[in-house]
Amino acid sequence: MTDNSMEQEIKSVFDLQQKYKFELRKTDAKTRIAKLKELKQALENAEEEIYVALDKDLRKSRFETAVTELFFTYAEIEHAIKKLASWMKPKSVGKTMSNLFASNKIYYEPKGVCLIIAPWNYPLQLIMSPLISAIAAGNCAILKPSELSSSTANVIHKIISNTFDEKEIACFEGDAEISTALLKLPFDHIFFTGSTAIGKIVMEAAAKNLTSVTLELGGKSPAIIDDSCDLKKAAEKIAWGKLVNAGQTCIAPDYVLIDEKLETVFVKHYKAAVQKMFFSGGEINESVYGKIINEKQFARLSELIRKTIKDGAQLEFGGETNAESLTINPTVFTSIGAESNMMQEEIFGPILPIIKCQNLQQAIDFVNTKDKPLALYIFSDDSKNQEKIINETSSGGTCVNDVLVHISNPNLPFGGVNSSGMGSCHGIFGFKNFSHERAVVFQSKFGMTKMIYPPYNMALLKWLKKLM
């Protein structure tokens, strides 16, 4: 397909959706719930294809695919089905003197035609989650899965095209040229998940059409460990959170800040946890440990290891790489400097830098010298320390004595702050994200507006002032 014909096809589908959105906005909860059930059934029917595709793209085990991709998506759908009728109901709000006798409500209207651009690291979950919210809110949507996880993108395209009419939901596969063509169009909302650098490009493109955006980005998410916690449990949880999907998780612990007296013991526990979870017979167990997505990312991470060693950091264990299988073994560095290459960018791989701190305040200050992260993890059994860290830092989300799990609760908002993102998703937060909250006032025959018509009564003004 030529560039011109591709753009024409995209524009044709976009125009169809722009017309159909006015019909779709009329749908009730029952109709939208039926669509969500159809989506879930289509996913269930394609489960085997999904398992095969994610194994090919990322070497995800069936267990990991089930837990982090499929079950997560099914839970989101079921939550929306259960709650949608209540979400859609207009909400009554309080009154003021100016509309004392009126009925004041918030209506949730669909934004219209929405663009959803998804990344490659959780290619099913991170395209289906916003789609669920878009459907629940009554929108049309165009999906753009990542070309880097091409096998999964193919399956997603098949699921969407077999389940929905393109005038309602469509899917376009392809490289950055497809994304560029899509971003030229005046969508009613854009939902993007990916890197901060590309997020800026998306936001710039959206600004040309004054299109609202949700940006789910990333950043360097720290784990802070104090001397009150169970170090063994902390090491196990951080090891799992860091190494699931071979570290290619936007909310993975990026680095550890730890009391200097605890570093050696923590490294010992972390290494033991890694060997227990991801090794078998002294070798990395590829049946449970994923691969790096492609040669480009593999080369970036391999070079990062090389530069970090050159910078003078201490390689505690790991560092082995296999270009043929795109595998980078779990790796830990200590004696990391703040100016190290490792600390300048999101790692997005199975490499963990550990930084010693003299006290908790130093750890907090270190976090605050960097951009606000998508997640922050606190390992402490001291409630005062927990509250101190929460109150003196900022992050998209936080877990205390665990990692990643905040993303699994649809009753919590998920999103970033500033460079780690804007806007929230999941549950009602996703529904509102794809809705316009419309203020509606139903005035009664006793409305007081007439009191302030010209000619003005200065005595009335004094009376009104007293009521303020």
Say if CB 258 and CB 362 are below 8 A apart: no
Please tell me the distance from the alpha carbon of residue 65 to that of residue 161, in angstroms, as a whole number. 22
Q: Is 216 tagged catalytic? A: yes
- 357 beta partners: 259
Rounded CA gap, 311 and 337, in Å?
8
Q: What are phi and psi of 122, to 5 degrees?
A: -130, 70
Give the span between the Cα atoms of 354 and 246, in whole angstroms. Answer: 18
Say which amino acid occupies 241. Answer: G
* 403 neighbors 223 (Cβ within 8 angstroms): yes
Round to the nearest angstrom and report the end-to-end CA distance of the chain. Answer: 65
Distances (CA, A) of 113 to 37, 173, 201, 212: 21, 18, 20, 11
**How far apart are the C-alpha atoms of 399 and 341, rounded to whole Å?**
27
* Helices then strands, each counted (H, E), the chain: 16, 20
| 399 is known as an active-site residue | no
- Could you say which of 216, 236, 316, 346 is catalytic? 216
Q: Which residue among 114, 171, 229, 250 is the active-site one?
A: 250
Paired sense of beta strands 331-334 and 351-357, if any: parallel
Phi-psi region of 333 (alpha: psi -120 to 50; beta: other; left: phi over 0): beta
Active-site residues: which are they? 216, 250
